[in-house]
Structure 1
Amino acid sequence: MLTDLKLKALKPREALYRVADAHGLCIEVTPTGSKLWRYRYRYAGRAKMLAIGPWPLISLASARLKRDEARRLLLDGIDPMAKRRRDNELLRQAQRGMFEPVAREWLEHKRKSVGEETFRKAKLVTEGDLIPALRRYNIAELATKDVAPVLLRIAERAPNLAAKARQYLGGIVDYAIKQGLRDDGRLLSLKGVIPRFEKGHISAVTKPSDLGPLLRAIEDFSSPLTRAALKLAALTAMRPGIVASARWEHIDLERAEWHVPGHLMKMRHAHIVPLQRQASELLRDLVGHDAVYVFPSPAKQKTPHLHRDSLSKALREMGFKGKHATHGFRGTLRTMARERLGIDLDVLEAQLAHAKRGDVAKAYDRTTFDDQRIQVMQAWADYLDTVRRNEDNVVPLKKAG
């Protein structure tokens, strides 16, 4: 039998060799000098060898105890090597089943089917709120009582994000079920968790008496870059993330068009935005500031372009918190263009790139209300100028449909 002195005296040779202890335990000496414990045994008529660990990290006494544990398994008809593989697999499953890795897997799965801005919001809420609060939970055991306080805390800060967080949690749990990490049908009961009053529409001005002060405040805002981005958002009614990340390669000033690729759009359809005279002039003034982005990132920002949150922050600084959000320009166009200019709803929906019910696959391309949208959006830009000058005496283009 081996002793500590004998173990210390073992020297490496040109070829690997083994020295026996007792009852199948042996030490394996490699040409590099490493000494590794092995347990040799037979199971179902086959010779096998179980790795126990390196000496001296695993002492002689510890190696014998591990050998004896394996021998007891053999007496019960259990293959020690097979049991170790099963234990390791259960451990990997348990680690993978923790909320954080499941949530990150879900994010990567979601990235393939949604636009960049939709994914950005999902990543922001998942990594910023859900993972820090729930990372210690296993997805198999996660219960409504665990997530309800998290959603309420988000709701206190940002009601709209709380509704999104609830949606994302449902998606993560559904993904876990499909991956076999949670029992079938074991969904979270999240209905009513967020107080009803916390859920609301995005704030938007819809009256000339409110729109005029907003436009004049933007005109006087100190940052030229943010001011220009807000004006473009007002003129085009594009989503804030699309405006903030606008690229010159998508802008055609000669044709007065902004071509937004499908992968950037919420509905995954390429969209053409007609650029009014005012929008084209605004963009021409920005040419040369950056080769890639229309609104390049200020020095202190980590993003390569102006962050959409900079637009929201600017509106808050102007005193429009709770009254108007950057995304609210879409609601402003949809409401006021119908009420004040009499524009058909279908034309407005095409401009906003909303999917038609029952016809989601239809792309809003050059043929979709193209001529009407050019006329309508120029009328909208002219109307904004009139309201900014406090001269709301506009004749509708036609009666609203």
Structure 2
Amino acid sequence: MPLTDVAIRKAAPREKPYRLADSGGMYLEVSPAGGKYWRLKYRFLGKEKRLALGVYPDVSLAAAREKRDDARKKLAAGVDPSEAKKADKRAARLAATNSFEAVALGWMDELKPYVTAGSMAKTKARFEKDVFPWIGKRPVAEIDAPEILTVLKRIDSRGARFTAHKVRGEISRAFRYGIKEGYCKFDPARDLVNAIPPAQTTHFASITEPAKVGAMLRAFDGFSGTFPVLCALKLAPMLFTRPGELRKAEWAQFDLDKGEWRYLVTKTSTEHLAGC
């Protein structure tokens, strides 16, 4: 007699596991701890086998019967449902490993020793905001240029053209990492170099007329702010360094006898020598 929801709910645990038969080889196994597990008993190539169909109540009676019927269809087609289930799991694991997100994160991990933590954080943030939500779960080998172009146009449409170009280059490097590791065979982002119009470079305001430069330097002498800022203002035109690098300068980097300052350039992490 087929099972009912009432009978399943009332099934209490016993000292040993026991079964409640349904139909078509399916049954509910009740464990001493109270767990209720759907199973399908079947024969394939003359051998008796078992197939797990899920746990009650996560898998309802109706859902378990659907899984049983699906397994029976596979048997009728000469396919072992247990092996088919294993193959599906392998395919899911492979898809997760071969997703663009997994490959891109692998590229970032490989890049970590060669870039600053801040630079890496910005790259990852760009991908999490603008790339992963759209193509992150896609198998990397199946992504084509039009898909990537859609991602780039979405970034460009909000007025972030420079970011769109930067992201295209980073996507391309992620694909080249994937090629090296055997996840894909070509880099579709490479063909999109000119797909987005060039970004308009906006330079910071600057004083270039000698007379005005002199006036600016004299204005520094009359600066009434804090002493550290006054020192920075006077050092900047002599050292020609980035404001952030000057602000983070440490005494250990200076050789006052030689008049030298050695520090790491922010963008390239290479040593730079400044003297005055």
Q: TM-score, normalised by structure 1?
A: 0.52
Please give the residue correspondences for 1:72-151 in structure 2 after superposition, counting only pairs within 5 Å. 72-94=73-95, 100-131=101-132, 139=140, 140-144=142-146, 145-150=149-154
Whether the aligned pair in 2 keeps the contact of 1:17 and 1:30 (CA below 8 Å) is yes
How far 1:29 moved relative to its partner?
0.9
How far 1:13 moved relative to its partner?
1.9
How far 1:70 moved relative to its partner?
1.0
Q: Structure 2 counterpart of 1:191, which letter? A: V
How far 1:175 moved relative to its partner?
3.1
Please give the residue correspondences for 1:146-185 in structure 2 after superposition, counting only pairs within 5 Å. 146-150=150-154, 152-153=156-157, 156-157=159-160, 159=162, 161-179=163-181, 181-182=183-184, 184-185=185-186
How far 1:50 moved relative to its partner?
1.8
Whether the aligned pair in 2 keeps the contact of 1:103 and 1:172 (CA below 8 Å) is yes
Identity of aligned residues (%): 30
| Gap change, CA 1:266 and 1:70, over 3 Å in 2 | same
Number of aligned residues: 266
Q: Measure, in 1, the Cα distance between the counterparts of 2:244 and 2:254.
A: 24
Instruction: Name the one with the larger strand percent.
Output: 2
Pair 1:27-2:28 in alignment: yes
Q: Measure, in 1, the Cα distance between the counterparts of 2:200 and 2:113.
A: 28
How far 1:223 moved relative to its partner?
8.7
Q: Structure 2 counterpart of 1:19, which letter? A: L
Q: Structure 1 counterpart of 2:143, which letter? A: E
Whether the aligned pair in 2 keeps the contact of 1:133 and 1:150 (CA below 8 Å) is no
Partner residue in 2 for 1:301: none
Residue deviations 1:132-151 (CA, integer Å, cap 9, x gap): 67658664334243144145
Residue deviations 1:244-302 (CA, integer Å, cap 9, x gap): 6x375xx32784476657xx855455x3xxxxxxxxxxxxxxxxxxxxxxxxxxxxxxx
Partner residue in 2 for 1:343: none
Q: Measure, in 1, the Cα distance between the counterparts of 2:45 and 2:134.
A: 49
Please give the residue correspondences for 1:25-64 in structure 2 after superposition, counting only pairs within 5 Å. 25-43=26-44, 47-64=48-65
Q: Structure 1 counterpart of 2:175, which letter? A: V
Q: Measure, in 2, the Cα distance between the counterparts of 1:91 and 1:7.
A: 32
| Gap change, CA 1:52 and 1:157, over 3 Å in 2 | closer
SS of match in other structure, 2:153? helix
Q: Measure, in 1, the Cα distance between the counterparts of 2:50 and 2:156.
A: 55
How far 1:45 moved relative to its partner?
5.7
Please give the residue correspondences for 1:2-401 in structure 2 after superposition, counting only pairs within 5 Å. 2-4=2-4, 5-43=6-44, 47-94=48-95, 100-131=101-132, 139=140, 140-144=142-146, 145-150=149-154, 152-153=156-157, 156-157=159-160, 159=162, 161-179=163-181, 181-182=183-184, 184-188=185-189, 189-196=191-198, 198=199, 200=201, 205=206, 207=208, 209=210, 211-212=213-214, 236-239=239-242, 242-243=245-246, 246=248, 251-252=251-252, 255-256=255-256, 260=263, 266-269=267-270, 271=271, 351=273, 377-378=275-276
Long gaps (5+) in structure 2 = none
Long gaps (5+) in structure 1 = 272-349, 352-372, 379-401
SS of match in other structure, 1:110? helix
| Gap change, CA 1:171 and 1:253, over 3 Å in 2 | closer
| Gap change, CA 1:168 and 1:10, over 3 Å in 2 | same
Q: Measure, in 2, the Cα distance between the counterparts of 1:221 and 1:70.
A: 83
Q: Measure, in 2, the Cα distance between the counterparts of 1:204 and 1:147.
A: 33
Q: Structure 2 counterpart of 1:193, which letter? A: A
Q: Measure, in 2, the Cα distance between the counterparts of 1:221 and 1:102.
A: 54
